[in-house]
Amino acid sequence: MVGLPKANVHYYFKTKAALYTAVLEDILIVWKQDADSFGNSSDPTIALSEYIRSKMRHSFDRPFGSKVWANEIIHGAPVLGDVRLADLLNQWEKQITIQIRQWIDEGKIRDIDPHYLLFMIWATTQHYADFEHQIKVLNGGVKMNKDQQEKATQTVVDIILRGIGLEPPE
């Protein structure tokens, strides 16, 4: 699957748990990179649109990452553990919520709880990966094509941005 000899995998990862932990951490690294849009623009329309689009792109292009993450969380983070999970997420989530709170204080977006906005973005964007099979069934038994993916992405951007008082980009 990864194009590496089995011996190389065993060299770098002494246990399955170590490999699994590395996979989880890699998923989070990618997702944190998606959130770079918050630091790249002081305009909430641009930052949030880019963030949502990145998250949706990963759901369509790398659905297994989201599924592995969801499985770990659904089962109570048995490998990562609550302390490690908190270490991985707290500072990152705090930085993003500070930026969202600043936009609220500046009157750029409606006064909403930044945490719940993030939870909504995560739930909505990751739904397309985690429930990929259900979507496929409801789409006549075929995966969403690029046009459908773009329409779904634009719909998510529109709904979330309008919900916080922003006009989505064209």
Residue 167 DSSP one-character state: P
What is the model's pLDDT at position 3?
A: 67
Domains belonging to the chain, first-starting first, are 12-163 (1.10.357.10)
Average pLDDT over residues 79-103: 90
Average pLDDT over residues 59-72: 92
Average pLDDT over residues 108-132: 96
Q: Render pLDDT for 153-167 as a digit per residue (tens, 0 to 9).
A: 999 999 999 999 999
Residue by residue, DSSP assigns 38-79 as HHH-S-HHHHHHHHHHHHHHHHHH-HHHHHHHHHHHHTT-TT
Extract the tokens encoding 57: 């792109």
Q: Render pLDDT for 14-65 as a digit per residue (tens, 0 to 9).
A: 788 878 888 888 888 888 888 888 888 889 999 999 999 999 999 999 999 8
Nearest to 84 by CA among 98, 74, 94, 73: 73
Name the average pLDDT for the chain.
90
